[in-house]
Amino acid sequence: MTLSIEEVEHIAELAKLALTDEEKARYREQLSAILDYFNRLQAIDTDDIPPTATVLPLHTVLRDDVPHPGISREELLANTEHKENGMFRVEAILDESP
């Protein structure tokens, strides 16, 4: 097993998922299997291959700096009940943004 339960809990926290003990055990197994597979890939010698972030034959795709209207505020907020004064309403945020 590659992953510890603590690591699964950390990943769950990062993904904002609340997991039961049973789920933690299950995901530990599944995620470990995935990591094991990647460890097999790690064994391949890639020293001469530059890191590849994309396989698309594209680069430097740019647009001109011309503003266009987007969507209306009503459309933006159409799918939520959590709204107030034209804004999304969220739980109190006290600590500062990271």
Partner 1 sequence: MIEYEPVIGLEVHAELLTRSKMFCSCAVVDSTEAEPNRYVCPVCTAQPGVLPVINRQAVEYAMMVGLALNCTINEFNQFARKSYFYPDLPKGYQISQYEHPLASNGWLEIEVGDSTRRIGIRRAHLEEDTGKLFHVGDHSLVDLNRAGVPLLEIVSEPDMRSVEEVEAYARKLRAILVYLGVNHGDMSKGVLRFEANISIRPRGSEELNTRTEIKNLNSIRSLVRATRYEIQRQIEVVESGGQVVQQTMGFDEDTGRTQAQRGKEQAHDYRYFPEPDLPPLHISREWVAEIGERLPELPDARRERFIQEFGLSLQDAVVLVADKAVADYYEAALAAGGDPKIVANWVTGELFRLMNTAGLEIGGIRVAPEALVELIALVEAGKINNNTAKEVLEIMFETGRGAEEIVEERGLAQISDSSALEVLVERVIAENPQQVQKYLGGKEGLLGWFVGQVMRETKGQANAQMVNEMFRKRLEALREG
Nearer to partner 1, 21 or 96 (CB): 96
In the complex, what is the shortest distance from the CB of residue 83 to partner 1, in angstroms, rounded to a whole number? 9
Chain positions 43 to 72 lying near partner 1, rule: CB under 8 A, are 51, 53-54, 56, 58-68, 70-71
In the complex, what is the shortest distance from the CB of residue 24 to partner 1, in angstroms, rounded to a whole number? 18
In the complex, what is the shortest distance from the CB of residue 93 to partner 1, in angstroms, rounded to a whole number? 5
User: What CA–CA distance (Å, rounded) separates 84 from 9?
Assistant: 34
Say how far residue 95 (Cα) sits from the centre of its chain. 22
| Sign, CA torsion 64/65/67/73 | positive
A 10 A CB-CB count for 3 gives: 19
73 binds partner 1 (CB under 8 A): yes
Are 8 and 24 spatial neighbours (Cβ–Cβ below 8 Å)?
Answer: yes
- Contact residues toward partner 1 (CB under 8 A) are 10, 14, 16, 51, 53-54, 56, 58-68, 70-71, 73, 76-77, 84-98
